Amino acid sequence: MSKILIVDDDTGATSLLEKLMKMEGHTPTAVNESKLAVGVANLIQPDLFILDLMMPEPTGFQLCRMLRKDRKFEETPIIILSALDDNDSKIVAFGAGASDYVTKPFRVEEFLQKVRAWLK
């Protein structure tokens, strides 16, 4: 099915997301260092990104901007999955190019519905 790049410095989070994406029939790739994400994205050409915001440099905000500046990924959906639940973080994320925003902890079925919708 679809190739999904998951970027989160929390290995527990990436492990859970990988399992969920595999259950949905997708091919997930997880990266726990955001500085490696663009290189991996260029290798696998994902159909969807799932990004955390609170990571060491580059932050998820910065990574989202970097991906949007790359012509290959300017239209690829980016779902932000973050514990940040304030309006300012959401506004900045959408301004950086995020397609959607989900807060942690999340409802699994709701999250999967968003993934399905963005992959249509």
10-residue stretch averages of pLDDT, the chain, 120 residues long: 96 97 98 96 98 95 97 97 96 98 96 97
What's the pLDDT at 43? 98
What's the pLDDT at 42? 97
What's the pLDDT at 23? 97
Strand ranges, E, within the chain? 3-7, 27-31, 48-51, 78-82, 100-103
For 8, residues 6+ apart whose C-beta sits below 8 A from its C-beta are 14, 17, 30, 32, 50, 51, 52, 55, 81
Strands 48-51 and 100-103: unpaired
Nearest-angstrom CA–CA distance, 62 and 40: 16
Question: What token pair was written down for 60?
Answer: 């998820």
What's the pLDDT at 100? 98
Residue spans of the domains in the chain: they are 3-119
Nearest-angstrom CA–CA distance, 53 and 92: 11
What's the pLDDT at 10? 95
- Single pTM value for the model: 0.96
CATH topology of domain 3-119: Rossmann fold (3.40.50)
